[in-house]
């Protein structure tokens, strides 16, 4: 049977599934049952999910967990986290409890500026183009009034427009570089709509300008927001006297603090370590971003770009000992929203936002940054003491038992046995074999 198909998107969900099963699964009914078993029994709710994307055939579930005891700016939070990786939620909760008795997390919003660009080619004189852009700049604002009306009423909108000369890198290449404040929305559609109008205004006015009419016409390449938002920043931090720390796995409090700081310094100067260090931070960030219906791919791209701002990929967190205090902080760019998108559509996103007290965008930025810092603290605390695998593999034990189709009684016995024994796939497999011998 051919695997090419025309008009697939026009087929019903049932027809799409029938084609998939016949083409890729040799008509295996179990493959079909796997898809349908994850459908929601509430037809209205299932239709809502079906309409999020095109060609929906089922729902792909990830666990929604919660991490309590987060004290952020003296307010108590329980964080919703959507993630499949063992130990992440447990580590976040453990870090939250640790810092809840040591002053909690403090946060600061350092900026809310978002960015979009019109990329175009102009082969004439740069001086002429500069004068032209200065002349028509008010028209960019005037022509987008219909788009910006509601955003402006909420205190946001277009904050600046400038011309950027990139001709030294690509012949004739310029940008209209625009900055925006989108208040509580992530703002992608708003920004892109403004940019597309800018490009129309640019071409229209260039065609009317006497100096530019003598040149080759401006060629618009593309108009698109940037997910790199280095001025949409949030900082999260914790600090406490070294004497208030815990003695860790044979280390004195001072030794633990010094070893902890050294581990962060290594991630600052060594890219191979920095990538894994930052991945641990993203375990916390992505989990809350997903739970609140935000775009984790955009967040990931922007944050990793920020980690390279010095010209080398580095740690996103910093640690130091100042006087008798351990100071640990994280500074990241975050373009997220609390209105629009899935925020008002997905029932569990709405639930997660209510759990957090219905935060605005700045408050959610703070919460997300704290999740990243807590996760990083938990990972580093393990790494410099007992090692990462001890706790991780304990949490992974149930996954291994499920892979080996262990019964309820076998799981109970294994959980008890591995309280004092190192966990590995082979060790669990041997345990089950010996138990059943």
Q: Which phi and psi angles does 162 have, rounded to 5°?
A: -140, 160
From the list 295, 346, 366, 396, the catalytic residue is 295
Phi-psi region of 410 (alpha: psi -120 to 50; beta: other; left: phi over 0): alpha
CB-CB contact of 133 with 163 (8 Å): yes
From the list 11, 13, 50, 85, the catalytic residue is 85
From the list 106, 128, 259, 279, the catalytic residue is 279
Nearest to 232 by CA among 82, 101, 81, 112: 112
Query: Which tokens is 237 given?
Result: 């931090």
One DSSP character per residue, 289-324 reads HHHTT--HHHHHHHHHHHTTTTSS---SEEEEEETT
Residue 301 to residue 313: CA distance in whole angstroms: 13
From the list 94, 346, 392, 396, the catalytic residue is 392
Q: Which phi and psi angles does 325 have, rounded to 5°?
A: -115, 145
CB-CB contact of 115 with 180 (8 Å): yes
**Whether residue 295 lies in the annotated active site:** yes
Residues with Cβ within 8 Å of residue 72, at least 6 apart in sequence: 104, 105, 106, 107, 366, 367, 370
Beta bridge partners of 408: none
Query: Which residues are known catalytic residues?
Result: 85, 279, 295, 392
């Amino acid at each position: 049977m051919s695997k090419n198909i025309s008009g697939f998107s026009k087929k019903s969900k049932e027809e799409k599934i029938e084609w998939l099963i016949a083409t890729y699964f040799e008509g295996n009914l179990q493959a079909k049952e796997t898809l349908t078993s994850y459908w929601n029994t509430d037809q209205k709710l299932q239709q809502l999910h079906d309409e999020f994307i095109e060609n929906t055939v089922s729902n792909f579930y990830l666990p929604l967990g919660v991490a309590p005891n987060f004290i952020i700016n003296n307010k108590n939070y329980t964080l919703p986290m959507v993630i499949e990786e063992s130990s992440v939620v447990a580590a976040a909760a453990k870090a939250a409890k640790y810092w809840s008795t040591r002053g909690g997390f403090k946060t600061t919003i350092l900026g809310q500026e978002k960015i979009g660009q019109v990329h175009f080619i102009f082969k004439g004189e740069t001086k002429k183009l500069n004068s032209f852009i200065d002349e028509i700049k008010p028209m960019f604002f005037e022509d987008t009034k219909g788009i910006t009306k509601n955003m402006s009423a909420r205190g946001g909108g277009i904050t600046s427009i400038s011309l950027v000369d990139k001709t030294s890198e690509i012949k004739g290449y310029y940008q209209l570089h625009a900055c925006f404040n989108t208040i509580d929305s992530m703002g992608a559609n708003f920004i892109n709509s403004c940019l597309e109008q800018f490009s129309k205004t640019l071409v229209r006015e260039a065609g009317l300008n006497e100096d530019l009419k003598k040149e080759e016409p401006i060629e618009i390449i593309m108009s698109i927001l940037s997910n790199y938002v280095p001025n949409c920043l949030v900082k999260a931090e914790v600090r406490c006297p070294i004497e208030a720390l815990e003695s860790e796995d044979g280390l004195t409090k001072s030794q633990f603090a010094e070893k902890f700081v050294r581990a962060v310094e290594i991630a600052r100067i060594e890219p191979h370590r920095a990538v894994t260090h930052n991945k641990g931070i993203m375990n916390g960030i992505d989990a809350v971003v997903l739970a609140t219906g935000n775009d984790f791919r955009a967040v990931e791209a922007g944050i990793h770009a920020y980690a390279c701002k010095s010209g080398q990929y580095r740690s996103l967190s910093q640690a130091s000992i100042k006087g008798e205090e351990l100071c640990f902080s994280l500074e990241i760019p975050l373009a997220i929203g609390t209105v629009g998108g899935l925020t008002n559509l997905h029932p569990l996103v709405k639930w997660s936002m209510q759990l957090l007290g219905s935060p605005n965008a700045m408050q959610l930025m703070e919460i997300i940054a704290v999740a990243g810092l807590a996760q990083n603290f938990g990972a580093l605390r393990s790494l410099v003491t007992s090692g990462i695998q001890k706790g991780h593999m304990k949490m992974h034990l149930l996954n291994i038992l499920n892979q080996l189709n262990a019964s309820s009684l076998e799981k109970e016995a294994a959980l008890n046995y591995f309280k004092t024994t190192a966990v590995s796939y082979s060790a669990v497999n041997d345990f089950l074999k010996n138990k059943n011998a």
